[in-house]
Amino acid sequence: MSKVIDSWKNGQYKEVWVYSKETENDERALCGLINGDWGWLNYYNEEGDAGLSSRNPNYAGTDNDNKTMDFMTNGELDPYPLSYVLPAEQVMKALDYFEKYHELPTFISWHDDEFG
């Protein structure tokens, strides 16, 4: 069983990937995107999977309220709904949990992105 972590930082922006790799064919991965004190998570069961993304159960708005925060992915700033956003400390705790247990942390509210 091996764990792979890939991380980069550009100023206030950070992208962290944790790959489970329990077996050779294990493609599970958890990505954390950070903007200063805030971040969000995206989980993939396998390559090409629509995945799951974090949701903030305390956010009063909706996914479609046009309120966003920028996060850097692949060197580009992209806006994501504020409903996805959690404190960066919680995002890092979730990444650590996934690295240690190879399971999705139950203390995160997940949304199945396949169903919109």
9-54 tens-digit pLDDT: 778 999 999 988 777 787 889 999 999 999 999 999 888 888 999 9
* Tokens standing for residue 111: 């949304």
For residue 3, the model assigns a pLDDT of: 46
Q: At residue 8, does pLDDT exceed 80?
A: no
Neighbours of 58 (CB within 10 A): 7
Of the pLDDT bands very low, low, confident and very high (cuts 50, 70, 90), residue 116 is low
pTM of the model: 0.87
More confident residue, 43 or 2: 43
Region 103-109: what's the mean pLDDT?
96
For residue 6, the model assigns a pLDDT of: 64
For residue 73, the model assigns a pLDDT of: 86
Q: At residue 5, does pLDDT exceed 60?
A: no
Q: At residue 1, does pLDDT exceed 50?
A: no
Whole-angstrom distance, CA of residue 9 vs CA of residue 11:
6
* Tokens standing for residue 41: 């998570």
* Tokens standing for residue 77: 């700033």
Q: Are 84 and 53 in contact (CB under 8 A)?
A: yes
